[in-house]
Amino acid sequence: MNLVDKTKKTFALTTPLYYVNDLPHIGSAYTTIAADVVARFQRLLGRSVLLVTGTDEHGQKIQRTAESKGLPPKKFCDEMSTGFISLWQLLEIKYDRFIRTTDPRHEALVKEFFQRVWSNDDIYLGQQKGWYCVSCEEFKEERELLEGHRCPIHPNKEAEWRDEQNYFFRLSKYQSQLEKLYQSQPDFIQPETRRNEVLNFVKQGLQDFSISRVNVEWGFPVPADPNHTLYVWFDALLGYVTALLEPDEEPNLENALAKWWPINLHLIGKDILRFHAVYWPAMLMSADLPLPERVFGHGFLTKDGQKMGKSLGNTLDPVALTRNYGADAVRYYFLKEIEFGKDGDFNEVRFINVLNADLANDLGNLLNRTLNMVKKYCAGNLPSITTEDIPIDNPLKVIGLHLGEQVKIAYEALAFNQACDAILKIVQASNKFIDEQAPWSLYKKGQQQATEAVLYAVLESVRLAAYLLSPVIPNISSDIYQQLGFEIDFNEQSQTAIVAPFDIHGTWGVLSGDQKLGDPRPVFKRIETPK
C-alpha cells in the first residue's frame, strides 16, 4: 500500500496525549505552549499546519483513579478531558485536532495497525515478570529503581511485581534498523543530549516489550485474544494517527495517513523519550509505515529549584497562573527564560521581574511613549516618511534587516529563548536610539523631518518585534499591531488566510507613513511584586 505522498507541503506536529488521571499540570502546559508557538510560526511562513493534541485515557492508572472517585472510567475521562480543553483555551492554544483515545474511531485504527504488526509475525505470547510502575505505565529494570522498588520519577510510589502471560512486541528484531535510522537521520532525536541517551540505551541491546495486560479492563481488547487488554502505550501512540482523520472520514489507516503523515515533529518531555524514539519507530517499521521526521524531548520544570510534586506540596497550577497573569505572560516566561531541551525553573519573583522588564518596560513603554510623541509632534501620523528615507546605516534598520531571518532559524531549531533574545535586542536598541536621538529636542529645534525619521524607525522596530513575537505573545502582538493601525489579530490566523505572511511582515520597513495610527494604550500592565 503506498500510503504517503511526500511532495505535500504540510507541517503536522503533536504534543503528547496527556493522561487524564489528574488535572493538567504545568509540564503539560509547557509542551503545549511550545507546540502552539511552533504551529503559529509555521502558519506565518505560509505552511499548512496541523497541531494535534489530546488525551490518553486508557490503562490501569486511569482505571484505578476512576475507581477511587467512584466513577465509571468513561464518565471520569469525559470530565477530566474538559479540564485540558479549557486550559488550552485559557492559554490561547490554537490546536487543530483534539484526540481522545476513547474515541470510537480510534479502536478501528488500533485494530488495523495491530493486524499489520501481527501479520508481520512481530507479536507473540510470553511470560512477563518484572516491576511495573503504574504511574509511568511502564516496566522498570531492577537497576533503575530506588530503594524499596520505588520509581525514580514517582518516588512516593512503589513499583508492583508482575508475573503474568502477556503478548510481546518483537522490538529486538528492529535493533539494527533503528541504529541505521539514528545514523542516517541524525536529527531524528533532538536535542543532542537526548539523542545520546537513546543511542546508549539502544546500544545495550533491545528487549521485546509486552503490549497486553491481564486484569486491566479499561482499554481495547487485544484483537487476537480478547482476554487480554492492549497495553496503554500501544494504543496511545496510535492516537497520533487517528487524530489525522478528517472528522467524518471512515476510520482506516489509508484515510488517516493520506494528508498529514508522516508527522513532522513530536514534541515531548524527556521522560517519555524511549516510547517515542525507540518503541514508536520500531512499531511503525513493523507495520511498514513511514516514520516521523523528528522527536524533540524537552527538559523538566522545577519550582524554586525543587522537583515539583503533589507529595512535596509545591505544584504550580497552570490554570491559576494563567488566570492571574494572562496567557501571554505565562507563554513568554517559559519560552524566554528556559533553553528548550534543558531543565528549567519557575520562581515567581523572577517571573514578575522578567515580565516587567521585557514586556511592560522595554516593549510596552517604548510603544506607548513613541506613539504619544507621534501624537504630539506629528499630529498623530508620519505622513511624509517611508522606509527609503531611513539611511541604510540607521542602527535599527541594520538590526532589523536581518532579524527576521535570524529569528526564523531560531524558531525552526526550537530555540525559543534565542528567538526572544534576538527580538528583545531590537527593542532595547530602540530604547537606546530614542534616548540618544532625543526627538523632543529635534522637534523643538524645528527639525520636523528628523523627528519623524526617529519615530518611524522606532515604531517600525516595535512592529517587527511584535510580529516576530506573535507566536509567543499573540495578544500583546495583536494589540501593538492594532495601535499601529493594522486590522490584524494574530489569534485569527487560519489555514486558508494568513493575515500577515512572514515574507512581507517579517522584514524591516513595512510601516508606511500614511498609516493611520491608533490611540496609545498600555499593552502590558506592570505587575506589582507581592509582599
Question: Under the rule (CB under 6 A), what is the footprint of ligand MSP?
Answer: 16-19, 27-28, 30-31, 56, 236-237, 239, 268-269, 271-272, 300-301, 308
- Nearest to ligand MSP of 18, 174 (CB atom): 18
In the complex, minimum distance from the CB of residue 483 to ligand MSP, in angstroms, rounded to a whole number: 35
In the complex, minimum distance from the CB of residue 325 to ligand MSP, in angstroms, rounded to a whole number: 19
Taking residue 150's Cβ as centre, other Cβ atoms within 10 Å add up to 17
In the complex, minimum distance from the CB of residue 232 to ligand MSP, in angstroms, rounded to a whole number: 8
Q: How far apart are CA 12 and CA 21, in angstroms?
A: 27
Q: Where are the alpha helices (DSSP H) in 278-317?
A: 280-286
- Nearest to ligand MSP of 171, 403 (CB atom): 171
Hey, which residues does 33 pair with through a beta bridge?
none
- Nearest to ligand MSP of 62, 403 (CB atom): 62
For residue 348, count CB atoms less than 10 angstroms from its CB and return exposed for 0-12, middle for 13-18, buried for 19 or more.
Answer: middle
In the complex, minimum distance from the CB of residue 54 to ligand MSP, in angstroms, rounded to a whole number: 9
For residues 344 and 299, the answer to whether their CB atoms sit within 8 Å is yes
In the complex, minimum distance from the CB of residue 136 to ligand MSP, in angstroms, rounded to a whole number: 8
- Nearest to ligand MSP of 20, 355 (CB atom): 20
- Nearest to ligand MSP of 300, 440 (CB atom): 300
- Nearest to ligand MSP of 240, 508 (CB atom): 240
Residue-wise DSSP of 69-100? TT--HHHHHHHHHHHHHHHHHHTT---SEEEE
- Nearest to ligand MSP of 28, 451 (CB atom): 28
For residues 335 and 420, the answer to whether their CB atoms sit within 8 Å is yes
Hey, which residues does 52 pair with through a beta bridge?
14, 97
Q: How far apart are CA 91 and CA 36, in angstroms?
A: 10
Residue with smallest beta-carbon separation from ligand MSP:
269
Of the candidates 30, 36, 42, the one whose C-alpha atom is nearest the C-alpha of residue 14 is 36
Of the candidates 48, 37, 11, the one whose C-alpha atom is nearest the C-alpha of residue 477 is 37
199 to each of 33, 145, 301, how far by Cα in Å?
A: 28, 21, 24
Handedness of CA 174, 178, 179, 180 (dihedral sign): positive
Phi and psi at residue 337, to the nearest 5°: -90, -15
Please tell me whether 136 is known to bind a ligand: yes
In the complex, minimum distance from the CB of residue 342 to ligand MSP, in angstroms, rounded to a whole number: 11
Q: How far apart are CA 119 and CA 504, in angstroms?
A: 52
SS3 250: coil
Please tell me whether 276 is known to bind a ligand: no
In the complex, minimum distance from the CB of residue 89 to ligand MSP, in angstroms, rounded to a whole number: 18
In the complex, minimum distance from the CB of residue 305 to ligand MSP, in angstroms, rounded to a whole number: 13
- Nearest to ligand MSP of 56, 122 (CB atom): 56
Please tell me whether 154 is known to bind a ligand: yes
Please tell me whether 420 is known to bind a ligand: no
Nine-digit cell at 476? 500583546
**Binding site feature residues for Zn(2+):** 133, 136, 151, 154
Point out the annotated binding site.
Answer: 133, 136, 151, 154
